[in-house]
Amino acid sequence: MHAIDPRPLGSTRAAARLRSLLVSCAGLASAGLVSAQPGPATPDGGPPATNDVITLPPLEVVAETRGDRVIQGPFIREIVGTTIFAGKKTSVIDFDAMPQIQTDNYRQAFSRTPGLLTSELSNSSLLSLSYRGIGDPHESQNLMVLKNGIPFVLDPFGYSTVYFAPPFESLDRLEFVSGGAALLYGSQPSGALNYITHAPDRSRPWSLSTQHVFGSDKLYSTFSTIEGGDERFGYLANFDHRSGDSFRRRNSDFELNGGEVNLVFDLSATQRVTASFERYQSDHGEPGGRSLADYAADREGNLLDHDRVRLDRTFGSLGYELVGERSLWQTRVWGSQVVRYSKRQTGQGFGTVTGNQLDINQHTYDTLGADSRLRVDYPLAEQTSTLTVGLTGMDVRAPIFTERTAPGDLSSDRGSTTRFEALRRSRYAAVFAENLFRFERFTLTPAARLEFIDQSMDERINVAKPAANLITDSRSEIVPLGGLGATYAVTGKTEAYANISTAYKPPTYTDAFPIGAADTVSSQLESAHAITTEIGYRGRPSAWSSFDASLFHVDYDNRFGRVGTNLQNVGRSVNQGLSLSGDIDLHHLLSGPSDFSVTWYAAYQYLDAEFVAGPLKGNAPQYAPEHMLRTGLVVSRDHIWKVAALVTHLSSHWADDGNTATPTQDWHIPDYTVLDLTAEARVWNGKIAGRDAELWLLAGMNNALDEDYYSRIRANGIDPAYGRNVYLGFRAEF
């Protein structure tokens, strides 16, 4: 039996493992530094105030500081650093364009991005996102989610779940890539969401910002940053804390604490070293789902009083950048340990629970990764073309065990018997290349990627099986990916674009290695794969407007499932539709440019999704609403105040692929419309001890019309969404 420490997870053992990983990282980084030969210097500029999609940016690494407040987007530039985005469907979610979004409200964050759906929890214990109805949004298992280009899911291959996400206050922007994302970052069929954090402000030795927000249901959120530096060195450190009770009656409390330190050191005009270290801990109650009848009678009630999930995360990375006359080389290595702990009552059904014991489950994920990319600009046919090549690899060691408490024991943090224990492992390597060819108004970007995955399972204990049937097995797969993107400059400010690309989803550990007593797995099991085709037109035709319109078609085959007790590839879906987004600064249109703006935005997706083969043929895939509309107004005066009214509407849809609607289980999500109001205003600026200082007030009302809705259903029932709630706070900057 394992002794589970009831104290906050991650202790001396966790630290020792991380030190071992970071020593390996340091060795790899040192090897890169020794072999590098610097080239001539290239100027390092900042991002432009606008993002004309056909303009070739200079060779630079864009990193905006917290105080820059330059609004980027709405599309990612053709090339950023060593990554080519030309011809791909992309979106930039820049937080400088909005009042400060609180408590990681993804409904507001995605207000200008069509197709990205958030499945809302009673409290923020995990991140649940999906795109265009491709797969279950639970724990964002079908998206590649990254921070500054490094995945932070628990295990990108065997258990691709998201229990941690960077706080919005630490971010400059979010970058989202749909078709072609797998060619840049690897697996997952729905695209990639990349969190870009602020760079250190090296214009002065130090500066400080601290934010404190108080809200409904004992919400307290604080985020503080200290940063500074000089011409060669920069540092940034922040601390994040959030806690509250949520609106459910019991066992919906949450508390999380996180912090990070980022360092930048310029060895010369052409060489840079970066380093980061992060810690995060969280503890969330899980109040459980409701049946439809219980939801109607008491949506704030509880099903579960003892279920909890805890996370402990430690992460470190080292990076090296070398700029040449026509080249840029970036290499990073990282190591992390994540411990995910949960305790859940046995006998759970849809809105019901009958057991009187707890299952204690603990996963540990030790990850070592490296990524190296080279960009080379070269002349071709009197134009400048760009080649990017790279390789990446990861090794994830993932032990897991489950214990069960004695009958009647619903309070312990450890079990009395061990029911399951196994060592899981994922090994991964990929090599990839893209080339951006330019021919006057036309660009063409072919891309190729070759991925190798090896997964293994070594069962030590499984009470559901005889000892002779325990699994010691592995599977390997080589997956080729390819794509082609193109753009045509229709005018100097607009372009047509097209992309066809492949993506895939490897089987999780539970897909590939059956742990049930009677379960078997098909000898023909393969990764699920998707082909995405998109054609569109986008641009910034004027200083006061932008737009993006596209038609898309996603063919997603070899989805995972079971026939009887056999795990196999089942089903194929086709998800197709129309994506529209745009904004207009009405004041600029009518009165000309000024520091005052009244911006109307809209983001709409029409989605036609259906299973076309397999046992679910004719059904609608889960979380695939036919209509998704986001619209609103943002009124602001530059660096003085901002006010926003944000509307989100989703039409009715299903929360399961089986489209289940029975007297005891109803997985249908009715349509809903939510209005959010947010604001921030600078109420004072002046000097403190000779330094510039500012004081800002923050306020908001989420779900202002108190819409009674839910956007999430799981096997234990309906998870009600938050009703009307408010917050008020301040931010001080020195």
Q: Return the number of other C-beta atoms located less than 10 Å from residue 241's C-beta.
A: 16
Residue 421 has pLDDT above 70, yes or no: yes
| DSSP characters over 352-414 | EE---SEEEEEEEEEEEEEEEEEEEEEEETTEEEEEEEEEEEEEEEEEEEEEEPPTT--S-SS
Confidence label for 567 from pLDDT (cuts 50, 70 and 90)? confident
What is the percent of the chain with per-residue pLDDT over 70, rounded to a whole number?
91
Confidence label for 64 from pLDDT (cuts 50, 70 and 90)? confident
More confident residue, 615 or 450: 450
Q: Average pLDDT in the 350-370 region?
A: 97
Residue 3 has pLDDT above 90, yes or no: no
Q: Does 6 reside within a domain?
A: no
Confidence label for 63 from pLDDT (cuts 50, 70 and 90)? low
Residue numbers of the domain that contains 357: 12-410+418-733
Two tokens, residue 257: 């604490």
CA–CA separation, 533 vs 498, rounded Å? Answer: 8
Q: Average pLDDT in the 658-675 region?
A: 95
Question: What's the confidence (pLDDT) of residue 575?
Answer: 97
Q: Does 441 reside within a domain?
A: yes
Q: Does 251 reside within a domain?
A: yes
Q: Average pLDDT in the 576-602 region?
A: 97
Domains in the chain, number: 1
Q: Return the number of other C-beta atoms located less than 10 Å from residue 651's C-beta.
A: 15
Confidence label for 84 from pLDDT (cuts 50, 70 and 90)? very high
CA–CA separation, 679 vs 684, rounded Å? Answer: 16
Residue 20 has pLDDT above 60, yes or no: no
The neighbouring-strand residues paired with 718 are 290, 713
Residue linked to tokens 């911006």: 599
Over residues 120-154, the pLDDT tens digits come to 988 877 889 999 999 889 888 899 999 999 999 99
Q: Does 2 reside within a domain?
A: no
Residue 521 has pLDDT above 90, yes or no: no
The residue among 627, 638, 696 whose CA lies nearest residue 133 is 627
CA–CA separation, 383 vs 358, rounded Å? Answer: 65
CA–CA separation, 263 vs 317, rounded Å? Answer: 10
Mean pLDDT, rounded, of the chain:
90
Question: What's the confidence (pLDDT) of residue 62?
Answer: 58
Question: What's the confidence (pLDDT) of residue 1?
Answer: 35
CA–CA separation, 430 vs 434, rounded Å? Answer: 14
Q: Return the number of other C-beta atoms located less than 10 Å from residue 549's C-beta.
A: 15
Q: Average pLDDT in the 429-453 region?
A: 97
Q: Where are the alpha helices (DSSP H) in 484-611?
A: 509-512, 586-591
Contact status, residue 68 vs residue 48, Cβ threshold 8 Å: no
The gap between the terminal CA atoms of the chain, to the nearest Å, is 53
Instruction: Burial-class residue 476 by CB neighbours within 10 Å (0-12, 13-18, 19+).
Output: exposed
258, 278, 368, 369, 426 from 22: Cα distances, Å? 19, 12, 9, 11, 19
Residue 506 has pLDDT above 70, yes or no: yes
* C-alpha gyration radius of the chain: 25
Q: Average pLDDT in the 447-470 region?
A: 95
CA–CA separation, 120 vs 123, rounded Å? Answer: 8
CA–CA separation, 456 vs 226, rounded Å? Answer: 43
Two tokens, residue 656: 């399961």
Q: Does 30 reside within a domain?
A: yes
The neighbouring-strand residues paired with 272 are 266, 321
pTM over 0.85: yes
Q: Average pLDDT in the 221-226 region?
A: 97
Residue 186 DSSP code: -
User: Which amino acid would we find at residue 32?
Assistant: G
Residue 229 has pLDDT above 50, yes or no: yes
Contact status, residue 675 vs residue 629, Cβ threshold 8 Å: no
CA–CA separation, 573 vs 528, rounded Å? Answer: 11
Q: Does 5 reside within a domain?
A: no
Q: Does 3 reside within a domain?
A: no
Residue 483 has pLDDT above 50, yes or no: yes
The CATH number of whichever domain residue 226 belongs to comes to: 2.40.170.20
Question: What's the confidence (pLDDT) of residue 89?
Answer: 96
Asked which of 25-39, 147-161, 219-233, 305-319 is least confident by mean pLDDT, the reply is 25-39
Residue 18 has pLDDT above 80, yes or no: no
What is the percent of the chain with per-residue pLDDT over 90, rounded to a whole number?
80
Two tokens, residue 611: 């299973």
The neighbouring-strand residues paired with 265 are 233, 273
